[in-house]
C-alpha cells in the first residue's frame, strides 16, 4: 500500500514510531470524547435499539453478524451503547498507528492519519457502524496483504461485517486491475458515466437487478436491502452535489491516468488504484441518489481526502521516476 520503497523522509524511523504513539494516544482521547457525545439520529438510533435488545435478538443483521457479536460482547461485560461506540472507534486505532508509521516512506500518509482525527470521520463512524467495521477490516487486509494468513482473517471479517465489502474485493481484484488497464474499458466507463450525468436514471435499473438476484437466491439480507432502497430515506434521497460529483470525476481521471502511466506500481498499489477508480465511477454513475452513491462508492465518498492523497503519492512517485 506504501508507494515508495525507500524512506523518503530525512527523519529516522524512531521519530515516526514516536509520532505514531502520540497520534494513537490522541485518537484514543478523541474517541472517548466522541463516544460520549453521539448524535442519536437515524441509523445511530437504530443501532442503539438493536444494542439494547441484543440479548433478545443476537443476529439482527443476518450474515453481517460481526457488529451484533461485538454488541453482545460489550453488553455481557456491562458496557452501554456509548462503550460500544468507543469500541467501534478503537477498531481504527491500528490503522492510525500504521498510517503515521508509513509516513516515513510516503509523507501523504501523515495527512491521511490527520483525517482519521477529524470530526467528519467520527460523526460518520457512529452513523454507518457496520460499513466502518467492514472498512477497518478491509484496510487492515490491504496493509497486511504480505502476510497471507492474517490478512485473509481480516478479509473474512470485512465480509461478515457488511456485504458491501464484496464490491471492494471485486474492484481490487487482479481481474479488475486488468480491466482498468484496457483503454477500451476506460472509454466505456467514461461513456457510461456521461449518460448518467445527462439525467438518465440508473437507480431504477440497480433496484430491479437487486430484486432479480433476491428472487433467485431468496436471501433475507437481500430482502432487507431491497426494502431499504425502495422506501423511506433511500428512495427519497437527493442527488450528490455538483462539487463532489466533479471531485469524483477528478479522482476517476487521476486513477485512470495512473493505471496507464509509465509509473511502476506494485501489484498491491495497482489494486488500491483500481479500487479508488471504481469507487469514484460508482459515485458518478449513481449520482442521482446520494444514499446509493455513498454505499457503493463508500471509500471515495467518506474517505475522499485520503483517496486523493494516496493518488497524489502515486503521482509524486511517477514524477521521481521521470527525473
Cα separation, 277 vs 259, whole angstroms = 9
Q: How confident is the model over 259-268, as pLDDT tens digits? A: 887 667 788 8
- Assess contact for 90 and 29: CB atoms under 8 A: no
The gap between the terminal CA atoms of the chain, to the nearest Å, is 23
- Mean pLDDT for the stretch of residues 240-247: 89
- Assess contact for 23 and 113: CB atoms under 8 A: yes
pLDDT band at 289 (very low <50, low <70, confident <90, very high): confident
* DSSP state at residue 322: H
Q: Which of 112-126, 213-227, 300-314 has the lowest mean pLDDT?
A: 213-227
Per-residue pLDDT at 228: 62
Three-state secondary-structure class, residue 286: coil
Q: How confident is the model over 44-99, as pLDDT tens digits? A: 999 999 999 999 888 888 888 999 999 999 999 999 999 999 999 999 999 999 88
Owner of C-alpha cell 469500541: 87
pTM metric for this prediction: 0.85
Quickly count: other Cβ atoms within 10 Å of residue 293's Cβ: 25
| 134: pLDDT strictly greater than 90 | yes
Mean pLDDT, rounded, of the chain: 84
- Mean pLDDT for the stretch of residues 167-186: 87
Higher pLDDT pick, 105 / 309: 309
| 132: pLDDT strictly greater than 70 | yes
Contacts of 278 (CB under 8 A, 6+ apart): 167, 171, 176
| 305: pLDDT strictly greater than 90 | yes
Q: To 10 degrees, what angle do helices 129-143 and 267-285 make?
A: 150
Q: How confident is the model over 75-84, as pLDDT tens digits? A: 999 999 999 9
Highest mean pLDDT: which range of 129-133, 146-150, 188-192, 198-202: 129-133
DSSP one-letter string for 135-160: HHHHHHHHHTTTSHHHHHHHHHHHHT
Quickly count: other Cβ atoms within 10 Å of residue 64's Cβ: 22
Q: Left if phi > 0, otherwise alpha if psi is -120 to 50, otherwise beta: which for 62?
A: left
Cα separation, 188 vs 184, whole angstroms = 6
Higher pLDDT pick, 212 / 289: 289
Owner of C-alpha cell 455513498: 294
Amino acid at each position: 500500500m506504501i508507494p515508495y520503497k525507500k524512506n523518503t523522509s530525512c527523519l529516522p524511523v524512531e521519530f515516526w514510531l514516536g509520532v505514531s504513539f502520540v497520534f494513537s494516544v490522541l485518537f484514543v482521547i478523541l474517541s472517548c470524547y466522541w463516544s460520549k457525545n453521539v448524535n442519536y439520529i437515524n441509523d445511530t438510533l437504530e443501532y442503539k435499539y438493536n444494542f439494547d435488545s441484543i440479548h433478545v435478538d443476537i443476529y439482527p443483521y443476518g450474515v453481517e453478524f460481526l457488529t451484533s457479536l461485538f454488541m453482545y460482547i460489550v453488553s455481557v461485560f456491562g458496557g452501554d451503547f456509548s462503550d460500544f461506540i468507543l469500541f467501534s472507534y478503537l477498531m481504527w486505532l491500528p490503522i492510525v498507528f500504521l498510517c503515521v508509521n508509513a509516513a516515513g516512506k510516503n509523507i501523504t500518509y501523515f495527512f491521511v492519519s490527520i483525517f482519521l482525527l477529524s470530526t467528519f470521520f467520527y460523526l460518520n463512524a457512529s452513523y454507518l457502524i457496520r460499513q466502518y467495521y467492514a472498512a477497518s477490516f478491509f484496510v487492515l487486509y490491504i496493509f497486511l496483504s504480505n502476510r497471507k494468513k492474517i490478512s485473509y482473517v481480516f478479509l473474512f471479517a470485512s465480509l461478515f461485517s457488511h456485504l458491501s465489502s464484496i464490491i471492494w474485493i471485486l474492484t481490487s481484484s487482479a481481474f479488475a486491475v486488468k480491466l482498468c488497464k484496457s483503454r477500451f474499458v476506460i472509454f466505456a466507463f467514461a461513456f457510461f458515466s456521461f449518460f448518467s450525468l445527462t439525467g438518465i436514471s440508473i437507480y431504477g435499473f440497480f433496484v430491479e437487478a437487486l430484486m432479480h438476484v433476491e428472487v433467485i437466491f431468496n436471501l433475507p439480507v437481500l430482502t432487507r436491502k431491497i426494502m431499504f432502497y425502495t422506501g423511506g430515506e433511500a428512495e427519497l434521497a437527493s442527488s450528490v452535489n455538483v462539487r463532489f460529483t466533479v471531485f469524483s470525476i477528478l479522482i476517476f481521471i487521476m486513477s485512470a491516468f495512473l493505471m496507464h502511466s509509465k509509473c511502476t506500481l506494485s501489484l498491491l498499489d495497482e489494486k488500491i488504484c483500481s479500487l479508488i477508480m471504481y469507487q469514484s465511477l460508482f459515485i458518478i454513475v449513481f449520482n442521482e441518489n446520494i444514499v446509493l452513491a455513498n454505499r457503493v462508492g463508500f471509500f471515495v465518498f467518506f474517505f475522499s481526502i485520503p483517496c486523493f492523497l494516496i493518488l497524489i503519492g502515486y503521482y509524486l512517485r511517477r514524477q521521481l521516476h521521470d527525473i
